[in-house]
Amino acid sequence: MAAGKKCAFEQEHPNLRTGTGTVTGSRPVAAATWMVEFTAPELAGAAEPGQFVMLRLPGLYSPLLGRPFAVYQTDRASGRVRVIYLVVGNMTGKLSRIETGTPIEWWGPLGGGWAPIEKEGRPAARRIVMAAGGIGYTPFYMLAEKYAALDAPPELLLLYGARSRDRVPDLGDFEKLGVDVRLATDDGTAGRKGTVADLLREKGLLVPGESLVAACGPRPMLAAVFETARKSGNTPCWTSLETPMSCGMGLCFGCVIEYRGDDGKTDSRRTCVDGPVFDAYRLVWD
Ligand SMILES: Cc1cc2nc3c(=O)[nH]c(=O)nc-3n(C[C@H](O)[C@H](O)[C@H](O)COP(=O)(O)OP(=O)(O)OC[C@H]3O[C@@H](n4cnc5c(N)ncnc54)[C@H](O)[C@@H]3O)c2cc1C
């Protein structure tokens, strides 16, 4: 191939960057939940709300592959990126023990982010209801930050559900943006006793023609949120999926999900390149 000419893969992923950053901070933010901050100026400059990044710990063969994480916050001035994660296994366990100054490999930004919930660069509804369960609040901060900065911002709500108080992170970042944060826990130790779907069912929250639900969290929670939106006058509902994946770039087909096309027939979609945000009305839930 001629020097300077882009191969098919590069043409398909014009914004893909990769690099090795340095960890600049790591701290717990709730039970089993950590924030890692690292330098990645190209990623900080390019990431859009709802996009994700693959992270890999260099020099390790376990895990050999990277893992996907939503880009939580970026600071373009310092070139730093923050990711918040739940410790569930090999990579996240090792990441929680990482020290400042350690190198970390990344590639991204990946996926289309929350672009599908916009029309001509504006949120597609007057009220954006962000519904998050557990670690599923991470793709929402950049969305709230973008929308709060608009000349005529939409009404922004974050409905957050967790198992119990110790699992609830500090959601002050959202409150500072003017987001109306509402909380529910399974055991009632913080906020209302119940689930995110219970919060969504509160009277007057889903106004037909005015509200849009954007959801992220465990699949049963997403299904309940979708069902609530559907029963509330078919309120638009978009879900950011966290399907496990190996490459994040459409090569491994590890993150395939079932999707209903325009003709009503089900087809496959890759969460990494076709998502991670999908119209909940097009997903196959059972
Ligand atoms: C687009 C996207 C964005 C994501 N954003 C975040 C984020 O911001 N913060 C965060 O904490 N996590 C996020 N995840 C999930 C995260 O990628 C996994 O938790 C991580 O890969 C686990 O790696 P591990 O090596 O620690 O776990 P492993 O050792 O690989 O697995 C441990 C256990 O967790 C299960 N598991 C692994 N991945 C997932 C998954 N995606 N969903 C459900 N169960 C899983 C495994 O089946 C196994 O039981 C995201 C996933 C995707 C696809």
Q: Calculate what percentage of the chain has a pLDDT beyond 90.
A: 88
pLDDT digits (tens, 9 = 90+) for 167-196: 999 999 999 999 999 999 999 999 999 999
Section 252-273 average pLDDT: 93
Section 217-243 average pLDDT: 96
Contacts of 134 (CB under 8 A, 6+ apart): 86, 161, 162, 163, 167, 217, 218, 221
**Is residue 4's pLDDT more than 90?**
no
Find the 262 Cα to ligand 1 centroid distance in Å: 30
Of ligand 1's listed atoms, the one at least distance from the Cα of 69 is: 5
Of the pLDDT bands very low, low, confident and very high (cuts 50, 70, 90), residue 3 is: low
The protein residue with its alpha carbon nearest to ligand 1, atom 34, reads: 88
Section 159-165 average pLDDT: 96
Q: Is the CB of 85 under 6 A from ligand 1?
A: yes
Instruction: Give, as one character, the DSSP assignment of residue 146.
Output: H
pLDDT digits (tens, 9 = 90+) for 6-53: 777 777 788 899 999 999 999 999 999 999 999 999 999 999 999 999
Contact assessment for residue 215 and residue 226, using Cβ atoms and an 8 Å cutoff: yes
Of ligand 1's listed atoms, the one at least distance from the Cα of 72 is: 8
Whole-prediction pTM = 0.95
Find the 96 Cα to ligand 1 centroid distance in Å: 14
Can you state the percent helix, strand and coil of the chain, rounding each to 5?
A: 25, 35, 40
Pick the CATH number of 11-110 from 2.40.30.10, 3.40.120.10, 1.10.3720.10, 1.10.10.410: 2.40.30.10
**Is residue 75's pLDDT more than 60?**
yes
Find the 286 Cα to ligand 1 centroid distance in Å: 21
Q: What is the DSSP string of 71-116?
A: --EEETTTTEEEEEEE--SHHHHHHTT--TT-EEEEEEEES-TTGG
Q: Which tokens belong to 63? A: 């895990």
Domain ranges of the chain: 11-110, 115-240
CATH 3.40.50.720 for domain 115-240, yes or no, is no
Q: Which tokens belong to 103? A: 């190198």
